[in-house]
Amino acid sequence: MANKLIVSLSPHVHGGDSVKKNMYRVLIALIPALLVSLLAFGVGAAIVTITSVAACLFFEWSISKFILKRNECTICDGSAVITGVLLAFNLPSNLPIWIIIIGALVAIGIGKMTFGGLGNNPFNPALVGRVFLLISFPVQMTSWPKVGQLTSYIDAQTGATPLAIMKEAIKTGDSSVLSKLPDSFSLFIGIPNDVTLGAGSLGEISAAALIIGLIYMLVSKVITWHIPVSILATVFVMSGLMHIANPIYASPITVLCTGGLMLGAIFMATDYVTSPMTHKGMIIYGVAIGFLTVVIRAFGAYPEGMSFAILIMNAFTPLINTYCKPKRFGEVIKK
């Protein structure tokens, strides 16, 4: 019997990647930061993370099932888990459970499912939830527990974060305030040398743990270097120039290792759905995020500007994609 010629649609060669596989690779990359947060905050970190993940899974399942009337279950693709972990990483370790649940509902319900689910959301869902909580519950969202209170949760003692100290130096115009900051190595590793300081959100206390995750994602080709490197390079250059011009601004190394800069640059700005598709577009996007972050930190009302910068540039992603659209194969450019 003659062999049949089977014609099928492209692609004819598959790289083996899938949404689910890449999502779980991102989760693996988040493990070092999660372990550091558990070592630093103990039961508080566990409660916040478990609550956030469980709430995100529940809201995605319930909205898909009862509101969107979909038969397909999407909670196993890893995207809701990542949203839950990233939302938790942007929260203090003493945040009440009911506020975490509200944040998860906003992240999944408004930030993701309102637009049709994974692949359709214009803004990073975890950041939508985080910014909503910051605006709605500013006191609870800016009470930062000190490191080492492993068995404390709601009643954990709080203190000023390095970002708050940097903001105080700018407001007062007194560079001596920066002497209260931990040394750069402590900030990088995530072990503060001053127990009176608050550490910040769960996922931002160790730049080293986040960089380990970045290296894993680069090696496994989950992301490319363009967005995180362009963000970090822009922040380093801008903050370095500002530090040289006026010592009330912290050194660039300190700026890179404080707040949610590393977390945002590595895990949230690189979100597939909300970031540009081309390498040129990614660099433009990253430089703009770095620029906005430094401007908001230095001149805005909030000590941190990373979340706002990413959300602003999420809105510009379609425009960047249009501007950086690759040339069609076989297209002739008329002179």
d(CA 286, CA 282): 6
- For residues 262 and 196, which has the higher predicted lDDT (pLDDT)? 262
d(CA 91, CA 158): 14
| Beta bridge mates, 147 | none
Give the residue-averaged pLDDT of 259-266.
Answer: 95
- Whether 8 has a pLDDT exceeding 80, the answer reads no
Question: H helices then E strands: how many in the chain?
Answer: 14, 0
d(CA 45, CA 42): 6
Sequence-distant (≥ 6) Cβ neighbours of residue 234 within 8 angstroms: 286, 287, 289, 290, 291, 294
What's the confidence (pLDDT) of residue 218?
A: 96
Q: Angle at Cα 210 formed by Cα 51 and Cα 48, nearest 5°?
A: 10
Query: For 54-73, what is each residue's pLDDT tens digit?
Result: 999 999 999 998 888 887 77
d(CA 116, CA 124): 14
Query: For 123-135, what is each residue's pLDDT tens digit?
Result: 999 999 999 999 9
Query: For 212-256, what is each residue's pLDDT tens digit?
Result: 999 999 999 999 999 999 999 999 999 999 999 999 999 999 999
What are the sequence ranges of the domains in the chain? 20-141, 162-320
What's the confidence (pLDDT) of residue 14?
A: 56
Give the residue-averaged pLDDT of 4-33.
Answer: 77
